[in-house]
């Protein structure tokens, strides 16, 4: 049985309806209901009497209204490519692709690359529409080229300040707006001097794209691999040290789209570096100490993972009703009654459980669980060279016993 495609999503550029392909124009003309923002609906002829739905906030309300017309011919007007940080992705969560036809226009990223001579496959892309500018912090590295969808006309100034504060003030910034239209405009400047130039006072369009070229050398660069310097974190001593952190993340084996529970999160380093490994990795940090929760939030923002979810409370009670994890790290509290049992039962099949023990009591606990569930036991002993008078000597860190097990 063939399913009727009742919903059309049509991408539009700055050239408006006249710039659409014949197929896209036909979908717009035949629709009984037209959906879009004020800018898109204003492109329709003044005498158009068809049913209109305007996007409102929260957008979920407008989507629900749209779904009431299921079965009728509905056309959604979108900017550029609807599946590039666009409304198409949102609609696909509610409407099957078999019921939908999507006609994209060139995306803002494609147009920006064409203007700048950049290869789209060699740039980092992200959107700050409804998202924290701190997301940029994980994408900053020497020689990087970034394309950013701005939230509004204020975004270039906010980004310039963020780059300067994090040691990337030499970055060149280009603001591109109304690309492909008669009012296309480009402004270029450096992050460090952005506020001092007339650029800061330009009346940028709300819909603008920001291109950032970072300098090829910077002392502010942090690796995306696990084990960034301990000095990158604000902490009170409850920090999984750099070398142990690298081994621990390797044991947790993050994959794109997976969820980590960081139980007894301390300053949040494991969850943060799990999320830094890929933009689609996400994590929940469970911590009962309010001061440490604030440290986790501050560290997450500074290191580019502002979407790290914080759960206040003591595990295992605080773990109930959380989404099913793909991996769990227990950094503290393994001796608490029912801790390992609760985590093990919550872990999805094929998921990784990793526990680090530094006390005799916690080591005894994981030895008992190892005898029941199997897995791997590893002893991690690290020594760092430190001054001894005018010489260097080796100072041992507290050894860590690590238990790693995969749920079968």
Domain of 243, CATH number, reads 3.40.50.150
Domain boundary among 60, 84, 105: 105
3-state secondary structure of 354: strand
Q: Is residue 165 part of a domain?
A: yes
pLDDT at 3: 62
Q: Is residue 75 part of a domain?
A: yes
- Contact 351/328 with Cβ under 8 angstroms? yes
- List, in sequence order, every residue forming a beta bridge with 206; answer none if it has no partner: none
One domain for residues 144 and 286: no
pLDDT at 100: 95
One domain for residues 284 and 334: yes
Q: Is residue 129 part of a domain?
A: yes
Confidence of residue 201 (pLDDT cuts 50, 70, 90): low
One domain for residues 399 and 281: yes
One domain for residues 63 and 204: no
Q: How far apart, in Å, are the Cα atoms of 207 and each of 92, 156, 204?
A: 23, 11, 8
Q: Is residue 225 part of a domain?
A: no
One domain for residues 73 and 197: no
Is 0.85 surpassed by the pTM of this model?
yes
pLDDT at 2: 52
Domain interval for residue 35: 7-105
Q: CA-to-CA distance for 408 and 404, rounded, in angstroms?
A: 13
pLDDT at 8: 97
CATH code, domain carrying 188: 3.30.950.10
Q: Is residue 127 part of a domain?
A: yes
* pLDDT > 90? residue 21: yes
Q: CA-to-CA distance for 261 and 259, rounded, in angstroms?
A: 7
One domain for residues 286 and 377: yes
One domain for residues 277 and 350: yes
Taking alpha carbons only, the member of 156, 149, 153, 207 closest to residue 183 is 207
Q: Is residue 395 part of a domain?
A: yes
One domain for residues 188 and 272: no
Q: Is residue 184 part of a domain?
A: yes
One domain for residues 236 and 366: yes
pLDDT at 237: 86
* pLDDT > 70? residue 46: yes
One domain for residues 298 and 395: yes
For 331-406, where are the alpha helices, taking DSSP H only? Answer: 339-346, 360-373
- Contact 32/50 with Cβ under 8 angstroms? yes
CATH code, domain carrying 52: 3.40.1010.10
By percentage, how much of the chain surpasses pLDDT 90?
Answer: 90
3-state secondary structure of 285: strand
Q: CA-to-CA distance for 357 and 331, rounded, in angstroms?
A: 8
Confidence of residue 364 (pLDDT cuts 50, 70, 90): very high
Domain boundary among 64, 81, 105: 105
Q: Is residue 82 part of a domain?
A: yes
| Mean pLDDT (whole number) for 337-348 | 97
Q: CA-to-CA distance for 366 and 57, rounded, in angstroms?
A: 49
One domain for residues 308 and 168: no
pLDDT at 196: 79
Of 152 and 202, the one with more pLDDT: 152
| Mean pLDDT (whole number) for 75-102 | 95
One domain for residues 127 and 195: yes
pLDDT at 220: 83
| Domains in the chain, number | 3
């Amino acid at each position: 049985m063939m399913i009727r495609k009742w919903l059309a999503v049509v991408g539009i550029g700055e050239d408006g309806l006249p710039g659409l392909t014949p197929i896209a124009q036909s979908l717009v003309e035949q629709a009984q209901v037209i959906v879009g923002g004020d800018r898109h609906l204003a492109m329709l002829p003044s005498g158009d009497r068809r049913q209109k739905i305007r996007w409102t906030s929260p957008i979920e309300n407008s989507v629900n209204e749209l779904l009431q017309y299921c079965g009728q011919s509905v056309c959604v007007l979108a900017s550029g490519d609807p599946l590039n940080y666009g409304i198409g992705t949102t609609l696909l969560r509610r409407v099957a692709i078999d019921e939908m036809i999507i006609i994209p226009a060139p995306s803002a990223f494609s147009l920006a690359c064409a203007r700048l001579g950049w290869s789209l496959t060699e740039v980092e892309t992200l959107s700050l529409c409804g998202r924290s500018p701190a997301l940029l912090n994980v994408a900053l590295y020497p020689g990087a080229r970034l394309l950013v969808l701005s939230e509004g006309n204020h975004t270039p100034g906010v980004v310039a300040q963020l780059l300067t504060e994090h040691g990337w003030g030499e970055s060149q910034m280009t603001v591109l707006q109304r690309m492909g239209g008669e009012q296309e405009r480009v402004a270029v400047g450096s992050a460090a001097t952005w506020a001092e130039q007339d650029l800061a006072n330009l009346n940028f369009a709300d819909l603008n794209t920001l291109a950032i070229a970072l300098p090829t050398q910077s002392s502010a660069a942090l690796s995306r691999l696990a084990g960034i310097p301990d000095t990158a974190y604000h902490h009170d001593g409850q920090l999984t040290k750099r070398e142990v952190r690298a081994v621990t993340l390797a044991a947790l084996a993050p994959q794109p789209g997976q969820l980590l529970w960081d139980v007894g999160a301390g300053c949040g380093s494991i969850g943060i570096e799990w999320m830094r490994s890929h933009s689609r990795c996400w994590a929940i940090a469970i911590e009962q100490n309010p001061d440490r929760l604030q440290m986790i939030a501050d560290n997450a923002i500074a290191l580019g993972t502002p979407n790290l979810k914080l759960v206040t409370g003591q595990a295992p009670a605080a773990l109930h009703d959380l989404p099913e994890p793909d991996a769990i790290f227990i950094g503290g509290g393994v001796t608490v009654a029912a801790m390992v049992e609760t985590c093990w039962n919550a872990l999805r099949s094929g998921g990784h459980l990793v526990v680090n023990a530094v006390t005799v009591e916690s080591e005894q606990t994981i030895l008992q669980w190892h005898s029941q569930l199997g897995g791997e036991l590893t002893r991690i002993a690290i020594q760092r060279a430190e001054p001894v008078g005018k010489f260097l000597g080796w100072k041992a860190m507290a050894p860590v016993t690590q238990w790693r097990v995969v749920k079968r």
